[in-house]
Amino acid sequence: MWKALLYKEWIKTRWYLLLALSVTLGFAGYALLKLHRAVALTGAGHIWEVMVTRNAVFIDQMQYVPLLAGLALAAVQYLPEVHRKCLKLTLHLPVPALATLGVMLAFGVAVLAVLFGLGIVLLAAGARPLLAPELVGNILHAALPWYLAGVAGYLLGAWTILEPTWKRRILCLLMSVLLLRLFFLAPVSRAYGGFLAVLALLSLCAASLSWLSVVRFMAGRQD
Amino acid sequence: MEPVIECRHLTHCYGRRKIYEDLSFDVPRGRILGLLGKNGTGKTTTINILSGYLEPRSGECLIFGENIRTLTPQTRRRIALLIEGHVQYQFMTIEQIERFYAAFYPAWNRDAYYGLMEKLQVAPGQRISRMSCGQRSQVALGLILAQNADLLVLDDFSMGLDPGYRRLFVEYLREFAKAEGKTVFLTSHIIQDMERLIDDCIIMDYGRILVQMPVGDLLRTFRRYSFRCPDDARLPSGEGFYHPAVVRGRGELCSFASPEEVRFRLEEAGIPCEGFTAETLNLEDAFIGLTGKY
Strand positions, DSSP E, B48-136: 58-63, 66-67, 79-82
Residues of chain A with pLDDT under 50: none
Closest chain B residue by Cα to residue A100 = B73
One domain for residues B213 and B238: no
Last residue of a domain, one of B178, B199, B217: B217
One domain for residues B266 and B134: no
One domain for residues B143 and B248: no
Considering its fold, how many domains does chain B have in total? Answer: 2
Q: Which positions in chain A touch B52 (Cβ < 8 Å)?
A: 91-92, 218
CB of A94 within 8 Å of any CB in chain B? yes
One domain for residues B143 and B273: no
Q: Which domain holds residue B91?
A: 3-217
One domain for residues B124 and B155: yes
Q: Residue A121 in contact with residue A68, Cβ under 8 Å?
A: no
Give the best residue of A14, A92, A165 to mutate against chain B (max B CB count within 10 A).
Answer: A92
Facing residue for A89 by CB, picked from B54, B55, B88: B88
Question: Residue A220 and residue B99: Cβ atoms within 8 Å?
Answer: no
One domain for residues B273 and B139: no
- At residue A18's C-alpha, the angle toward residues A85 and B123, to 5°, is 60
One domain for residues B264 and B279: yes
The Cα A147–Cα A116 span in angstroms is: 6
Last residue of a domain, one of B217, B242, B276: B217
Domain extent listing, chain A:
2-218
Last residue of a domain, one of B165, B192, B217: B217
- The CATH code of the domain that includes B278 is 3.30.70
Residues of chain B with pLDDT under 70: 294
One domain for residues B211 and B247: no
Coil, helix or strand for B52?
coil
One domain for residues B148 and B265: no
Backbone dihedral angles phi then psi of residue B66, each to the nearest 5 degrees: -105, 140
- pLDDT tens digits, one per residue of A35-70: 899 989 998 889 888 888 888 878 888 899 999 999
Give the best residue of B48, B84, B104, B147 to mutate against chain A (max A CB count within 10 A).
Answer: B104
Question: Residue B104 and residue A4: Cβ atoms within 8 Å?
Answer: yes
Crossing angle for the helix pair A2-42 and A97-127, nearest 10 degrees?
20
Give the best residue of B14, B75, B89 to mutate against chain A (max A CB count within 10 A).
Answer: B89
One domain for residues B85 and B47: yes
Question: What amino acid is encoded at A194 in this protein?
Answer: G
Q: Which pLDDT score, from 0 to 100, does residue B294 have?
A: 62
- The CATH code of the domain that includes B213 is 3.40.50.300
Q: Residue A122 in contact with residue A136, Cβ under 8 Å?
A: no
Q: Which positions in chain B touch A11 (Cβ < 8 Å)?
A: 91-92, 96
One domain for residues B192 and B266: no
Nearest chain B Cα distance for residue A94, angstroms: 4
Q: Residue B89 in contact with residue B140, Cβ under 8 Å?
A: no
Q: Which pLDDT score, from 0 to 100, does residue B61 have?
A: 94
Q: How far apart are the first and last CA of chain B?
A: 36
Question: Residue B52 and residue A219: Cβ atoms within 8 Å?
Answer: no
CB of A95 within 8 Å of any CB in chain B? yes
Rounding to the nearest 10 degrees, give the CA dihedral for residues B263, B269, B272, B276. -20
CB of A215 within 8 Å of any CB in chain B? no
One domain for residues B174 and B241: no
Q: Residue B165 in contact with residue B261, Cβ under 8 Å?
A: no
Q: Which positions in chain B touch A219 (Cβ < 8 Å)?
A: 54-55
